[in-house]
A = this chain, B = another copy of it.
Amino acid sequence: MPQLRKDPIIGRWVIIATERAKRPGDFLITKEKEDIKGKCPFCHGNEKETPPEIYALRKDGAASNKPGWDIRVVPSIAPILKIEGNLDRRGVGMYDAINGIGAHEVIIETPDHIANTAELPVGQIEKVLNTYVFRIKDLYNDKRFKYVLVFKNYGWAAGGSKINHARSQIIATPVNPKRVKEELVGARKYFEFKERCIFCDIIKQELKDKVRVVAEVDGFVVISPFAARFPFELWILPKKHNCDFYKLEQDEISKLAATLKLALCKLSKGLNDPPYNFVIHTAPFRHTEKHGYWKTIDRDYHWHIEIIPRLTQMAGFEWGTGFYINPTPPEEAAKALKEISCETELALAEK
């Protein structure tokens, strides 16, 4: 009998197929062997192939837009939002529009031509996370922006390009994301009812039940959530209650780097290097200055990372209902991924 499960935060139903559940080997992953021919614009030495850098983590004394960097941040060459201009909120008959103002940056995660973040050393991933924090703090100063989404598209089926060089993206938006608002509203309702953070409660329940825990690491837990929308969907939850990702301390970032590597490595080994997306969900900018449910975000919300391997396709039912059909119960996904062992340095991080 299939099961309908409700996402406890936003109330969305997911249909979990329990019979003939799909296991890792059941997903046919079409590998994109294709890579860029000629110069990769993201490799060290090819700095001139990108727009001038916004920021770079460089060895002492290395000049801008030249080799000698560990991480580079450059503007997107196909920005979906533009940095210059005013919002110009306006009506168009009965409709509403604003100018597409925002920032769209690309974080080049390594000077070497390595495709998957899972393959980077933990120390390098730590530099990537530090760069996210640095860029978010900088974009915070621009009063036109309400939110910054950090995300990654890995592989063609996940919306990635065919240049197999690890990078992530940052988009600052002048309006708050629908999905994040839904989480904020759900988390506030839960707090009002229970006087507890829903994410903190989820962590407690998962560590007690154990069946959906993929890894427990110092400071973080990796789970496949109860109402996972997608097969092998993973969430990384910080044990410490905190709504703002950018407020992480350096030692937390180190541990998060190891946790992220562990999660990505398990997916890569378990599912034969699948395409995936990840997103960091954090609180909107300047939430403490606001009224209404914005006012209690510190109390209600809990930043986290959602990782989505792209193994299934959305079809008419999903578009029409907003529900999802997940052919792999998260308990089976967690069990399969838990058994996959990654490198020693990660094993050490695990409790």
Contact = CB atoms under 8 A, between A and B. Distances in A.
Contacts of A306: 319-320
Contacts of A82: 1-2
Interface string A269-292: 000000001111100000000000
B175 A317 contact: no
B13 A316 contact: no
B95 A316 contact: no
Given A3-B99, A94-B8, A96-B5, A308 B319 contact: yes
A111 B11 CA distance: 41
Contacts of A174: 4
A39 to B, nearest CB: 23
Copies in the assembly, this chain: 2
Given A2-B100, A152-B316, A316-B277, A322 B177 contact: yes
A153 interface: yes
Contacts of A153: 315-316
Contact of A93 (B1, B175, B209, B280): B209
Nearest to A178: B322
Given A80-B17, A227-B95, A319-B279, A100 B4 contact: yes
A259 interface: no
A16 B12 CA distance: 27
Given A1-B85, A4-B100, A316-B153, A173 B95 contact: no
Interface string A156-183: 0111100000000101011101111010
Given A15-B81, A201-B94, A321-B180, A4 B175 contact: yes
Contact of A278 (B1, B12, B149, B316): B316
B149 A321 contact: yes
Interface string A5-26: 1101001110111100000000
A17 B320 CA distance: 24
Given A3-B99, A4-B99, A12-B178, A80 B317 contact: yes
Contacts of A279: 316, 319-320
Contacts of A278: 316
Interface string A187-206: 00000000000000110010
A36 interface: no
Interface residues of A, number: 71
A313 interface: yes
Contacts of A294: none
B316 A1 contact: no
A325 interface: yes
Contacts of A235: none
A158 B315 contact: yes
Contact of A80 (B5, B314, B320, B325): B325
Contacts of A18: 100
Contacts of A11: 178
A348 interface: no
Which of A6, A18, A320 has the most chain B CB within a 10 Å cutoff?
Answer: A320
Contacts of A85: 1
Contacts of A157: 313
A210 to B, nearest CB: 12
A140 interface: no
A100 B157 CA distance: 29
A323 interface: yes
